[in-house]
Structure 1
Amino acid sequence: MSKKVLVIAHGHPEFNKGGGEQAAYQFYKECLSQGDDAYFLARTAVEPHGGAAFSTIKNEREMLFHTTHDDFFLFSNIKTRHLWGDFADLLTQLKPEVIYCHHYFLLGIELLKIIKKVLPNTKLVLTLHEYYAICHNAGLMIKSGEDKKLCFESGPRECNSCFPQKSPGDFFLRKQYIKNCFQWVDSFIAPSAFLRQRYIDWGIAAEQIHVIENGQKSVDIPPVNVKNDAKVRIAYIGQINPFKGIDVLLEAMLLLPLELRQQCLIEIHGANFTTQSDKFKKKIYKQLRSLSDVVRMHGVYEPHELGGILQDVNWVVVPSIWWENSPMVIQEALSHGKPLIVSDIGGMKEKVEHNVTGLHFRSRSAVSLAETLETILLDKSIEAKLVKNIAKPLSLSESYKLTNQLVNH
């Protein structure tokens, strides 16, 4: 049965190329295709005309919310708090039966309370894309020190050790504030079992949080575009920052014997490299200079280009050094029948079965990744064996049906 829905995201893929934004937008489009009276509201930093809180993009169903949060500790609005009145007016005008909120980051976590205060009978579903509520360090669950160690648990004293300028009491109150905002949510969605368990350990009731993977578009897999040079092509697709493991990948390439390295070509497709720290950029540029003959940087790609990018590669690598929840690139690669090489932690380990649909290597270890690369270069039959095991990931329509069942429960 069709219904009126509002999908809220922290960015529109027209301006923000992250996986969470793309997942939210694709879900909105699926709602439309399923016959729902659907609207999409995305936060933006783009300046509005005349100081308006909202503007439209493409059509009247896709709206931009010109706001931000100022308090990154509590995800709270301060300077733009007056815009919550405009947000309440929009809710009153639309009157959606269901609101699928794909984030509160940059929007302000208070929106959860406002939604239920204005529309108490509307079902509110919040998808958790990472660990922001648990971890003040950009939701990464990585220690804030120079070595960026993985964090296995949160707590007032543990968090204070990362951010001594905030007292244990500050972190205790932070958790209470966020949990108080979360009490307005009817159901939570976790795209991975790993993330679900992290939030259960943190304090969300197990019966409230459900694992539903981000759905993928159905694609027809074209024949592999075999290049004349017969090199093994490996693609990195995603953001380029210190937590995505690009430096680990490049270091692994440098560790390969020269003869094997020449049999390989790394294709890097990613955004936001130029906005990173000078220290990080200097490190990557130094590695790239030593690998100029076997690594190509392609820059930003658009979603519609993904099929062509994946058609031309043999493998996809996800070398992240943090507990990735459910990287969209993994589902996209599997949709196109491509085996993966991934770090052995978090949602990466969960989504890619070792020696079945891909290969694991020890997270953060360039040596381990180099050994994995050497394995696939010396035995090229591994690729074909794994490709046979790849099943289509959850489709958009299947994800929609599962979410619909959750809402109607």
Structure 2
Amino acid sequence: MTEHRILIVSHGHPDQSKGGAEVAAYNLFKEYERQGLDTVFLARTDLPSHGGSAFSTVNSDREILFHTHMSDFFLFQSGCKKHVWQEFRALLQRYKPTVVHFHHYIHMGLELIREVRNTLPDTRIIMTLHEYLAICANNGQMVKPGKQMKLCYKSSPTDCGRCFPERSPADFFLREKYIKSIFNLVDMFVSPSQFLIDRYKAWGIPEEKMVVVENGQPEVQTLAPRPLVEGETRGRFAFFGQINPFKGVDVLLEAFKLLPEDARERVHLDIHGSNLEGQPEEFQEKIHRLLENLGDVVTLHGSYESHELGRLMEQTDWVIIPSVWWENSPMVIQETFNHGRPMIGSDIGGIVEKIIDGVNGYCFRSGSSNSLKQAILKACGENENWNLVTSDISKPLSIGECSRIHLSIY
């Protein structure tokens, strides 16, 4: 096998930002490191640097923080060009990676990709796509702006102009041309779901430049079933992740509010999530109002560390992912199955590639609190339902196998 020098670029370090993409990038880096491969992890941070330097290190000299930012979120352009053509270029010239694997470009700038191609013409450029930012200017969600959060099925300059009337269709046409000119420099795109590949294929990325590779998981012991008291059903539900309008936590709480009184006495929901305070005030008020109405049925725990996940899952029967946008491949699905717990999830996007209704969990109609209510009632109705779906849970792709697939792509 070719001896690679691998530079992994992420838009955040999981010590500071706990999104799925950051964790996926870091897990891959740590696995390469465990295998003794020559690899460096470059993660963007918004923390101030010491003495104005663009770079600092964390944990080891192989984990570098990039103190930079973007000034243009429409075109994903760097807010400090000097960081691109001087500091980042110097890093490339010093380390001379044979592979640069981008797990994101947001908060850093698309120019980094062109800088790699200009500075090291023979270096392989790989990009893992985690959402639809290049296609959709609405935070890459492919959801129409507004309270209805209507799903978008296909972008076009005209349609995007309707979503953002302050910009013309010509702006979106030129945006697409610019982003594609950068994407043309990428040798291979990796996606954790076929759904996302299909979206980018429809947008114009050649199918032969895209490959599905699931986010690898560390090997953990499958958890034993939660002990039950006599007559108890499996009614402990949990949500793990960011609390924002796209994640459907309001739909989840409304579903529990719709449960009959006798069912509410048999269930409990634990919400392990952060960033509620950073959401629009109207959304925050809605969530707090629902929490108040549900009383002891729901417990809001706040954020958690990755190493705490197993302990939290031990007291969980079902994990719910109620997203209202086209999720690609939420890390929580692989994490949940890795620990041997079944899931209840929205029937859209990459979610239905992972959660097979009636096999390893249940699906419900996205955005419908009534449909989710029915799934919850089914889940906690008979313990045999839990035993049935749990018996068909397969272990997700391991991080070791994931790394081997990536090395073959490199």
TM band (smaller chain): over 0.9
Aligned residue in 2 for 1:290:
293
Q: Report deviation, 1:116.
A: 1.0
The alpha carbon displacement at 1:281 in A equals 0.8
Show structure 2 runs of 5+ residues with no match.
none
Hey, what's the Cα distance between the residues in 1 that align with 2:110 and 2:227?
Answer: 49
Aligned to 1:41: 42
C-alpha displacement of 1:377: 2.0
CA separation of 1:190 and 1:246: change in aligned 2, threshold 3 A:
same
Match of 2:83 in 1: 83
Between the aligned partners of 2:315 and 2:380, the Cα distance in structure 1 is 17
- Equivalence for 1:326: 329
Given residue 136 of structure 1, which amino acid in structure 2 is its aligned partner? Answer: A
Match of residue 302 from structure 2 = 299
Residue matched to 2:316 = 313
Change over 3 Å in CA distance of 1:222–1:374 after alignment to 2: closer
Q: Distance in 2 between matches of 1:191 and 1:340?
A: 18
Equivalent position of 2:123 in the other structure: 122
Q: How does 1:216-365 map to 2 (within 5 A)?
A: 216-226=217-227, 228=229, 230=232, 232-365=235-368
- Equivalent-residue separation in structure 2 for 1:80 and 1:378 (angstroms): 57
Q: CA deviation at 1:42?
A: 0.3
Contact 2:226 2:317 in 1 (8 A): no
1:143 maps to what in 2? 144
How far the C-alpha of 1:227 sits from its partner, in A, is: 5.2
- The farther-off stretch of 42-51 and 79-88 is 79-88
Letter of the 1:99 counterpart: V
Matches within 5 A, 1:29-178: 29-77=30-78, 79-84=79-84, 85-178=86-179
For 1:384 and 1:305, how far apart are their aligned partners in 2? 25
Q: Displacement of 1:201 after TM fit?
A: 0.3
The equivalent residue for 2:400 is 397
Aligned-pair CA distance for 1:333: 0.4
CA–CA separation in structure 2 for the residues paired with 1:255 and 1:372: 12
CA displacement, residues 163-186 of structure 1 (integer Å, 9 cap, x when unaligned):
011100000000000000111111
Residues in 1 aligned to 2:13 and 2:142: alpha-carbon distance in whole angstroms = 26
In 1, Cα distance between equivalents of 2:273 and 2:305: 10
Question: 1:274 deviation in Å?
Answer: 1.1
Percent of aligned pairs with the same amino acid: 47
CA distance in 1, matches of 2:245, 2:316: 24
* Cα deviation digits, residues 28-80 of structure 1 (max 9, x gap): 00111122111100000000011101000011000000101110100001x41
How many residue pairs are counted as aligned between the two chains? 406
Written as runs of structure 1 = structure 2, the 5 A alignment for 1:379-390 is 379-390=382-393
Q: Tell me how far apart the structure 2 counterparts of residues 222 and 157 of structure 1 sit (CA, whole Å).
A: 50
> One-letter code of the match for 1:369?
L
In the alignment, residue 111 of structure 1 is paired with which amino acid? L
Q: Which runs of 5+ in 1 are unaligned?
A: none
> CA contact under 8 A between 2:246 and 2:324: conserved in structure 1?
yes
What's the CA shift for 1:222?
A: 3.3
User: Distance in 1 between the 2:278 and 2:395 partners?
Assistant: 35
SS of equivalent residue, structure 1 residue 299: coil
Tell me by how many angstroms 1:349 deviates: 1.0
Note if contact 2:135-2:155 (Cα within 8 Å) is conserved in structure 1. Answer: yes
Q: Secondary structure at the match of 2:132?
A: coil
Note the alpha carbon deviations across 1:358-382, whole angstroms, 9 max, x for none. Answer: 1000000000000111112222211
How far did 1:402 drift?
Answer: 1.1
In the alignment, does 2:184 pair up with 1:183? yes
CA distance in 2, matches of 1:4, 1:406: 14
Using the size of structure 1 for normalisation, the TM-score is 0.98
Q: What secondary structure does 2:70 align onto? A: coil
Contact 2:223–2:340, Cα closer than 8 Å, also in 1: no
Q: Give 1:4-23 correspondences, 5 Å limit.
A: 4-23=5-24
- Give the distance between the partners of 2:371 and 2:92, measured in 1 at CA: 51
Q: Secondary structure at the match of 2:239?
A: strand
User: Would the aligned equivalents of 1:145 and 1:162 in 2 still touch at CA under 8 Å?
Assistant: no
Q: Secondary structure at the match of 2:81?
A: coil
How much has 1:228 moved relative to structure 2? 4.4
In structure 1, C-alpha distance between the alignment counterparts of 2:228 and 2:288, rounded to whole Å: 27
- Deviation track 1:83-132 (CA, whole Å, cap 9, x = no partner) reads 11110000100111111110001110110000111111111100000000
For 2:53, give the aligned amino acid.
A
CA drift of 1:225 comes to 3.4
Dislocated runs of 4+, deviation >3 Å: 227-231
Q: How far apart are residue 290 of structure 1 and its match?
A: 1.2
Cα RMSD over matched residues? 1.0
1:145 is displaced (CA, Å) by 2.0
Counterpart of 1:367, as a letter, is N
Quote how far apart the aligned CAs of 1:406 are: 1.4
